[in-house]
Structure 1
């Protein structure tokens, strides 16, 4: 009985689910901002917004998808504010801040190169690639999170794959020429 009451309270469900979802939200924020400080700020802002707007969370739905949507919307708002304030575009990504997830130096280098290449994609492609290939969301779920048509998700992924493939083919060609 007590458990069913908790599940019917969106505020408590959001607060209880945030610790589990936070690492994934932080990784997504990092993929958007390209820096650890930016990811910290964006992920914390998303959590604060989720707590403030918890009454809008539909109990029983996917907290992670709701949080990704909040994070994405906050990022878009921040980009718009930056463009108005300084006429700037996307942030410059500091490659030295990319986390090193593996112990094997060769594998770590490969992962870092792939992550660097993904972070170098345009923001729309980068966010879509992250949601589908890193987080494992279906195309449909990614479309819902990003609030775009399914065909746009497919197009962004195809373009990102082509860009990444071209970059790695060019890189491979340079390595073989040496």
Structure 2
């Protein structure tokens, strides 16, 4: 779910359906309807995110506010998930979109390329860059010691 909130997701789906009905003539018969609808949804979502940033003067909602757990999750899982979401939200928008489409929505690389209208190589490149950034951000930091020893 791109929005992390059911009400927002419902509004997003409704706006997608409305736009699809308004632009039904633009659908190419013989192509996948779900890809066409998801590209409309993605476009509406990006426009909403951009306008929200302008209105509020800030970026995405904090991961702590966006993640909702059912109470059965352990504290460690909650903390880890918040940290991962913080790192994902810190990615550049192009990388973040590909990560969400692949890992959250479960689309294949080809499907992501079709939805975003980019080459499949760009999808793979953005995913590799996103994974590298997250790995670097989450890598354990080893303490540094001076050569002079303890004093």
TM more than 0.5: yes
CA distance in 1, matches of 2:38, 2:96: 14
Matched, 1:115 2:85: yes
Map Cα deviations across residues 103-162 of structure 1 (whole Å, 9 max, x no partner). Answer: 222223222222222122111111101111122211111001001111111111011000
Which of 106, 118, 123 is matched with 1:153 structurally?
A: 123
* 1:116 counterpart SS class: helix
Q: What CA distance in whole angstroms lies between the structure 2 residues aligned with 1:90 and 1:56?
A: 34
Residue number among 132, 141, 151 corresponding to 2:102 in the alignment: 132
1:16-39 per-residue CA deviation (whole Å, 9 max, x = no partner) reads xxxxxxxxxxx13x2xxx777765
Shift in CA distance, 143/71, structure 1 to aligned 2, threshold 3 Å: same
Tell me, in whole angstroms, the C-alpha distance in 2 between the residues paired with 1:79 and 1:104. 29
User: What value does the CA root-mean-square deviation take over the aligned residues?
Assistant: 3.3
2:12 touches 2:45 (CA, 8 Å); kept in 1? yes
Scaled by the length of structure 1, the TM-score of the pair is 0.62
Change (3 A) 1:94 1:122: same
Give the number of equivalent residue pairs: 141
Distance 2:49 2:78 in 1: 31
Aligned to 2:148: none
Greater radius of gyration (CA): 2
Per the normalisation by structure 2, the TM-score is: 0.71
CA 1:90–1:143 in structure 2 vs 1: closer, same or farther (change >3 Å)?
A: farther
